[in-house]
Amino acid sequence: MLAMNYRGPLRVRIDNKPMPEILHPQDAIVKVTRSCICGSDLHLYNGLVPDTRVGMTFGHEFIGEVVEVGPDVKKLKVGDNVIVPFNIACGKCAFCKQGLFGNCHESNSQATAVGGIFGYSHTAGGYDGGQAEYARVPYADVGPTVIPEGMDPDDAVLLTDVVPTGYQAAEMGGIQPGDTVVIFGAGPIGIMAARCSWLFGAGRVIVIDHVEYRLEFVKNYANCEAYNFRSMDDPVVFIKKTTDWMGADVCIDAVGADAAGNTMQTITGRKTMMQAGSATALHWAINGVKKGGIVSIVGVYGPTDNLVPIGNVVNKGITIRANQASVKRLLPKLIEHVKNGVIDPKALITHRFPLQEISDAYHIFSDELDNCIKPVLIP
Ligand SMILES: NC(=O)c1ccc[n+]([C@@H]2O[C@H](COP(=O)([O-])OP(=O)(O)OC[C@H]3O[C@@H](n4cnc5c(N)ncnc54)[C@H](O)[C@@H]3O)[C@@H](O)[C@H]2O)c1
Ligand SMILES: [Zn+2]
Ligand SMILES: [Zn+2]
């Protein structure tokens, strides 16, 4: 089958790889019909995630048709069209039982922090992902969810990650009616977090990035304010000024390890890798939130150390909430929101590529060319 093949930082190509096989009685094989590239894939692509091995197939956002099931699979049937959550979860461990499907204790033997994630390095379990014609899906009765009748596949594929992650970013912010929410990052996740912040009763939603076309997009899509940090002396002072010097009630980091905007962070976090990615957006979030406020982090960082102003967290009494999104927990509610038109995910899709053109797709998305917001691969 054709599959994306990682060859080292900034080098991905399409190759022939062996068909995935059922390795465990609870596995299914899914024929991929849509697969996205995510900002999370860019951390892998840029070589920032430890133990990303040459030969791996990325891709944690995919939908497809079930073509084979293992003997212990009871609910899923051959022929079902499914949304496959990006987290691989057993459904039975203490963490899955609490709804922490991103922190499953069984699906990732390599680490005790994050659970398994499709196509996301051996730090997240070493599972090949869905930027391929076929993918092996473990615990097939747990995560995969049948696509509701009539749902557009472009909406369905964004329910694997973007919609739940944006929603959970807002949810973890503990937004109270009337709150001012500041979101760093106008990529798909920040855009969805902005849209979802209103659902929790935000009074004001502000998005900060430095890519003009994305700021323009989010302003219209999420009906919010959008500002370019390159036109500010200091984003923290900007936030203070615009909130009567109080600070934002809630700040959301939807940027993560590849953040721009601070030379020292960029050199130590992205160029020399003396820390696990640049923590620039997280700095701004911690320093821009009010005393007693909440910082919600969905931006991804490496598992080792980062330079963050922890003293300010203590002195300001900030609550930090963070996680990989728990897709399965949120799916029932978010499927309803999509059906009822409360959220319109497919509007984010700007580009479609045949799987064969994967290296162009990574290049265009990574370099923010051609007004790209969210690219979809069609195997
Ligand atoms: N926690 C989860 O479950 C989860 C799931 C999906 C994605 N993510 C993470 O969320 C983050 C965003 O994902 P995405 O797909 O939107 O990525 P993306 O790369 O498309 O978007 C990131 C945006 O941040 C902007 N940016 C860079 N530096 C900035 C700064 N200092 N301040 C404000 N904006 C800045 C970039 O210009 C870009 O528009 C990534 O770190 C990704 O790994 C987490
Ligand atoms: Zn993703
Ligand atoms: Zn589990």
Q: Is 261 in the pocket of ligand 1 (CB under 6 A)?
A: yes
* Ligand 1 close to Cβ of residue 36 (< 6 A): no
SS3 content of the chain, % helix, strand, coil (to 5): 30, 25, 45
In the prediction, which pLDDT does 273 show? 87
Q: What is the pLDDT of residue 169?
A: 98
Give the integer Cα–Cα distance in Å for 155 and 375: 13
What is the tally of helices (H) and strands (E) in the chain? 12, 17
Rounded distance from Cα 24 to ligand 3 centre (Å): 16
Tens of pLDDT, residues 159-209: 999 999 999 999 999 999 999 999 999 999 999 999 999 999 999 999 999
φ, ψ (nearest 5 deg) of residue 13: -150, 170
Measure the CA–CA gap between 293 and 231, rounded to whole angstroms: 26
**Ligand 1 in contact with 185 (CB < 6 A)?**
yes
d(CA 101, CA 348): 25
Integer Cα distance of 82 and 103 in angstroms: 22
Residues 278-299: tens digit of each pLDDT: 999 999 999 999 999 999 999 9
**Which pLDDT score, from 0 to 100, does residue 23 have?**
98
Please, where are the H alpha helices in 81-152?
94-97
Task: Tell which one of 49, 189, 298 to mutate to probe ligand 1, the residue whose CB is within 8 A of the most ligand atoms.
Answer: 189
Q: Which residues surround ligand 3, an ion (CB under 5 A)?
A: 89-90, 93, 96, 104, 106
pLDDT(112) > 90? no
The tokens for 314 are 């203590």
Using an 8 Å Cβ cutoff, are 15 and 2 in contact?
yes
- Ligand 1 proximity of 85 Cβ (cutoff 6 Å): no
Q: Is 255 in the pocket of ligand 1 (CB under 6 A)?
A: yes
Residue 245 C-alpha to ligand 2 middle, in angstroms? 35
Coil vs helix vs strand at 364: helix
Average pLDDT taken over every residue of the chain: 96
Minimum mean pLDDT range among 59-73, 170-184, 260-274, 322-336 = 260-274
User: Which ligand has its closest atom nearest to the C-alpha of 299?
Assistant: 1
CA separation for the pair 349, 333 (Å, rounded): 22
What confidence tier does 302 reach under pLDDT thresholds 50, 70, 90? confident
Q: What is the DSSP letter of 358?
A: H
pLDDT digits (tens, 9 = 90+) for 10-22: 999 999 999 999 9
Query: What is the predicted pLDDT for the residue at 161?
Result: 98
Please name which ligand lies nearest the alpha carbon of 232: 1
Q: What is the mean pLDDT of residues 101-129?
A: 92
Distance (Å) from CA 172 to ligand 3 centroid: 21
pLDDT band of 111, cuts 50, 70, 90:
confident
State both tokens at 325. Answer: 């999104």
How far away, in angstroms, is 113 Cα from ligand 3 center? Answer: 12
State yes or no: pLDDT of 319 exceeds 90: yes
* pLDDT band, very low/low/confident/very high, at 307 (cuts 50, 70, 90): very high
* pLDDT surpassing 80 at residue 267: yes
Element (H, E) at 322: strand 319-322
pLDDT digits (tens, 9 = 90+) for 327-360: 999 999 999 999 999 999 999 999 999 999 999 9
